[in-house]
Structures are given as C-alpha cells and as structure tokens.
Amino acid sequence: MRFGLSWTTVKIYPFILHSISLSVFASVIGPFGGFFASGFKRAFKIKDFGDLIPGHGGIMDRFDCQFLMATFVNVYYASFIRWVKFYDMYM
C-alpha cells in the first residue's frame, strides 16, 4: 500500500471494459476504413464518391473510418452488451 491507495480502491465497471475495447478497435482498425473505401472505389472504377469538397474525394471520403467503426459498434453491442442484458433479465 503506497500513498494510501490499495487495489480495493480501484473499481473496474463494465462500462470501462467496453470503452477500452471500443477505443482499441477505433485506434488500431479504424484507419483501415480508408483502405477499404479505396479498394471499393478501385474495384468499381470510381474516382471520387462525390464532388462536394473539391480535391478531397467528396463527403463520403471524410467518413471512411466512421462507417467501419459504426459497423463494429453495432456488432459489439449485439454480441456482448444486449445479450448480457437479456441474459441477466430472464435467467
């Protein structure tokens, strides 16, 4: 016990664990959303997703990693959070 703190003073709530897993995914895998969008455009021979922002590939190119992250959050919620709430409620 140093500085008056012990391991019993640190509480880890489920919210913290979910936040850590989402933030790790966002920082490690999220940037690959741009690579996915670029591959999609190359496969369909599309230069830009739009011309609203000239020189930047359109407005859709600004949200590449957000689409990937939104998909992951949806799957994560359906797999871990909603299932656990259902299990606790009915079991």
Q: Please tell me the total count of domains within the chain.
A: 1
Sign of CA dihedral 77, 80, 65, 60: negative
**Residue 5 placed within a domain:** no
For 5-14, what is each residue's pLDDT tens digit?
Answer: 666 667 788 8
Question: Can you give the pTM of this predicted structure?
Answer: 0.65
> CA 56, CA 20: separation in Å to the nearest integer?
32
According to DSSP, the residues that pair with 2 across neighbouring strands are 5
pLDDT greater than 90 at residue 23: yes
46 belongs to a structural domain:
yes
**Cα angle: 52, vertex 25, 21; to 5 degrees:** 135
Q: List the domain range (segments joined by +) for residue 75.
A: 29-90
pLDDT in tens, 36-58: 888 888 898 887 767 677 766 67
Residue 56, C-beta contacts closer than 8 angstroms, at least 6 positions apart: 62
Residue with the larger pLDDT of the pair 51 and 71: 71
